[in-house]
Structure 1
Amino acid sequence: MSAAEPLAEEAPLLDVVIPVHNEEAALADTVHRVTRHLERLPWSWQVTVADNASTDATPIIARRLARELAGVRVVTMSEKGRGRALKRVWSESTAEVLVYMDVDLSTDLNALLPLVAPLLSGHSDLAIGSRLTRGSSVVRGPKRELVSRGYNVLLRSTLRARFTDAQCGFKAIRRPAAQALLPLVQDDTWFFDTELLVLAERSGLRIHEVPVDWVDDPDSRVDVLRTALDDLRGIRRLGWSLLTGRLPLATVSTELGRTQSRAAAGRTGTQVALFVCVGIASTIAYAVLYLLFRQVTGGQVANLLALLVTAVGNTAANRWLTFGVRGPQHLVRHQVQGLAVLGAGLAMTSGSLAVLHAWSATPHPVVEVLVLTVANLLVTLMRFLAMRLWIFRPSPALVEELSAG
């Protein structure tokens, strides 16, 4: 169960969300500081206190602030989770730009204007405060510094993230981007920020980074070890979803009118990597099957049988892993097209065998395998292009549907 104060009749340009859980000591001062700062900005605004199942006086203080201060409202939820709170408030808000900041205000509020200005102008889709980019000023202990930098190095190496600071509690997003991305974000806790940013980047959205002045809160109750373990699980889950193409990021890019050039390049690189892995497994399987069949039949027949078995497996593996095609729809057609590609591969490999036998009447089976392996490697590029541009190419109807969306 949850409850919320009604939104203002006229939607503000900014909705500044402050998620809280048992923050009775800090909440009033924070809300007063934030509202005083917002009054100096040239845009309409509201402040939303998102209470995450607090068990102290936080809900009472929040409701009192909403009564006393114009532009302050409260959303109350029965479950904890920063990501859950932001999903709820951002999904319901009618503001043009949705902002999030931590209740401890570790980030200097003077960074708010440069954070939201590129979003209001339409220059960027998301904006994040960064403690790790040039121009930032950070005061914190060596342990937190090491953890923060190590985490962002991990994101760059595993998820190929280009942004510099995933976890700074100072972010903003345009409402259309939020509406497109939030349904895809699974995490409801601390990994929410990272998941949102990675999905935005892979969708071709523009992320603006603002250097911030940031002072660590010595009373922070974040469990660093537990958060780190949760983040590692989140990285594994999100990485697998990206590798297997389960997320409709092309649809997000189309809906928001982005070119997706960077996202497409990243997806192509992922497809090539997965295709190579499937190809290596297929080549090994082909060599083993050829040697087995060669014990009971001639070279050409053994080649045909080995190619048939591995071609069906190769098409199925690339369909599911490399190109992210799920379900039975067009399964038979895809296999038939895969067999057509097999025909071209068979012609090339059979031709290489014919050349070998013309050169040596009784070549050793191992030599035959080596020659056929080289021929199959040459066929690999042709097979990838055929799968990408022909077999698993989106239908014109789907492309038209995505463009219309």
Structure 2
Amino acid sequence: MRTSIVVPMWNEESWVEHAYDRIKQAIKEYNLDVQIVFATDGCTDRTIERIEELQKKDSSLLLFNHPGRLGRGRALKKAFLRVKTPFIIYMDSDLATDLKHLPQMINYLEQGADIVTGSRLMRGSKCIRSRKRKIFSTVYNFLAKFLFRSKIHDHQCGFKGFNRKNIMKTLREVKSNGWFWDAEILIRGQRDGLNVVEFPISWCDRDENASKVNLWKDAKNMGIELVQLRVDILPKTFFQMISFAGVGVSNTLVTLSVLFLLENTIGRGDWGYYFAYSLGIINSFVLNRRFTFKEKSVTKRTYGQFVGFVGVYFISMIIYSETARFLEMVIGLFYLYAATVSLFVEYIFTFSMSKLAIFREIKENESSSA
């Protein structure tokens, strides 16, 4: 078989047989070469027993049982790692998607798509949902598109197909264990350069009272996870620049504190500025090495890093002074503006040299050959 249909199940004893019959009927009607996989997630009713009864009639039916509650996203992730077929389709257990779309989804996968997702919001789709769900879906998908420049219209649709081999890297990156899993895998898949295809479907929501979705609670959680993902996938350099600037502030505080102590104790003399500035550099080196560039242990190259760091700071002082003088004397900029611009130029230079030269990440093949 080339395709597995994975259906997550949680306490569906009264529904599981109906779901199985409908999927089986579609397989037969459209002559599909697929197997059904039920991925249970901490069921406390008789769902497992119902599935085991079905397995007696159908030896191709697979059950991936997780006794403890994993969460929908994690249960799907584990199921995807266990199946062996080239293609995987997953659909919500309520079978809200019209199963006539199964051949379309398989066709897209066979034509080279890495991820295929149904859409209830594209032109041509037919969707029967409550008004509050439509409002939530519209707002949520607007935020997803705005925050991530996603090209997908409907991130949360519970009808998706995957090329198993090609999505493994993205699948391992996904962190959500809950309902946000759907949106996260689409967002990360696009960022990883996967071929993501979306097509309109017919959808009819299950009875509101039978749904496992707590709209307001799950909406809040998915909104929080949306923001967390935005922060999570920001480039590492962005956070390093923030940390480097923070260390720069602490460097200034150390320098001023030392000058203050000298002034009020033994006197600072002509050497006080140099002494205070030197301690500031040491503070900057230690904190940036530990917190900005994440080098914890002292190694053979630490001494060389320190010498290089001092050299960079010496050059940066010259750059700052000469830039400020040029902007004020030649360009005619007000001295405070000239100083501010020069500080920014100095910051960019110091950070760039620290990241690219002083604390440059050593690749494994470089460290092994050293």
TM-score, with length taken from structure 1: 0.71
2:345 pairs with one of 373, 378, 386: 378
Q: How far apart, in 1, do the equivalents of 2:51 and 2:143 lie?
A: 38
Residue identity in the other structure for 2:345: L
Q: Return the offset for 1:14.
A: 0.6
Paired residue for 2:215? 224
Residue identity in the other structure for 1:376: L
C-alpha contact 1:22 1:56 (8 A) present in aligned 2: yes
Q: How far apart, in 1, do the equivalents of 2:328 and 2:116 lie?
A: 65
Tell me if 1:78 matches 2:67: yes
Q: Return the offset for 1:59.
A: 2.1
Q: Return the offset for 1:287.
A: 6.6
Paired residue for 1:142? 131
2:80 pairs with one of 90, 98, 101: 90
Shift in CA distance, 200/386, structure 1 to aligned 2, threshold 3 Å: farther
Paired residue for 1:344? 315
Point out the more displaced range, 145-154 or 35-44.
Answer: 35-44
Paired residue for 1:312? 285
Q: Return the offset for 1:146.
A: 1.4
Q: How far apart, in 2, do the equivalents of 1:156 and 1:314 lie?
A: 37
Q: Return the offset for 1:97.
A: 1.2
Paired residue for 1:126? 115
Paired residue for 2:104? 114
Paired residue for 1:242? 233
C-alpha contact 2:167 2:189 (8 A) present in aligned 1: no
SS of the residue 2:211 aligns to = coil
Q: How far apart, in 1, do the equivalents of 2:136 and 2:295 lie?
A: 38
Q: How far apart, in 2, do the equivalents of 1:275 and 1:160 lie?
A: 24
Q: Return the offset for 1:15.
A: 0.8
Unpaired runs of at least 5, structure 2: none
User: Cα RMSD between the aligned structures?
Assistant: 3.9
Q: How far apart, in 2, do the equivalents of 1:16 and 1:399 lie?
A: 45
Tell me if 1:48 matches 2:31: no
Shift in CA distance, 172/384, structure 1 to aligned 2, threshold 3 Å: farther
Point out the more displaced range, 226-235 or 100-109.
Answer: 226-235
SS of the residue 1:176 aligns to = coil
Question: 5 Å matches for 1:3-402?
Answer: 12-41=1-30, 44-69=33-58, 71-80=60-69, 81-121=71-111, 123-218=112-207, 219-243=210-234, 267=235, 271=237, 273-274=238-239, 277-278=242-243, 281=246, 301=274, 305=278, 308=281, 311-312=284-285, 315-316=288-289, 319-320=292-293, 325=294, 327-328=296-297, 332=302, 337-352=308-323, 371-387=338-354, 389-391=356-358, 393-397=360-364
Residue identity in the other structure for 1:379: E
C-alpha contact 2:6 2:79 (8 A) present in aligned 1: yes
SS of the residue 2:7 aligns to = strand
C-alpha contact 1:90 1:178 (8 A) present in aligned 2: no
Q: Return the offset for 1:315.
A: 3.6
Point out the more displaced range, 205-214 or 90-99.
Answer: 205-214
Shift in CA distance, 356/86, structure 1 to aligned 2, threshold 3 Å: closer
C-alpha contact 1:283 1:376 (8 A) present in aligned 2: no
C-alpha contact 1:111 1:210 (8 A) present in aligned 2: no
Query: What is the CA deviation profile of residues 271-298 of structure 1, one whole-angstrom value per residue up to 9, with x for unaligned ones?
Result: 3x54664565466667767777598677
Q: Return the offset for 1:336.
A: 5.1
C-alpha contact 2:241 2:351 (8 A) present in aligned 1: no
Point out the more displaced range, 385-394 or 28-37.
Answer: 385-394
Q: How far apart, in 1, do the equivalents of 2:150 and 2:296 lie?
A: 30
Q: How far apart, in 2, do the equivalents of 1:200 and 1:60 lie?
A: 36
Q: Return the offset for 1:380.
A: 3.8
Shift in CA distance, 389/202, structure 1 to aligned 2, threshold 3 Å: farther
Shift in CA distance, 180/350, structure 1 to aligned 2, threshold 3 Å: same
SS of the residue 1:39 aligns to = helix
Q: Percent identity?
A: 24
C-alpha contact 1:311 1:339 (8 A) present in aligned 2: no
Q: How far apart, in 2, do the equivalents of 1:194 and 1:400 lie?
A: 39
Q: How far apart, in 1, do the equivalents of 2:220 and 2:277 lie?
A: 49
C-alpha contact 1:66 1:73 (8 A) present in aligned 2: yes
Residue identity in the other structure for 1:30: A
SS of the residue 1:83 aligns to = helix
Of structures 1 and 2, the larger Rg is shown by 2
C-alpha contact 1:311 1:342 (8 A) present in aligned 2: no
Query: What is the CA deviation profile of residues 171-211 of structure 1, one whole-angstrom value per residue up to 9, with x for unaligned ones?
Result: 12222244334444333322222333333333332322222
Q: How far apart, in 2, do the equivalents of 1:135 and 1:340 lie?
A: 64
Unpaired runs of at least 5, structure 1: 1-11, 244-266, 360-366
Q: Return the offset for 1:13.
A: 1.1
Q: How far apart, in 1, do the equivalents of 2:88 and 2:328 lie?
A: 70
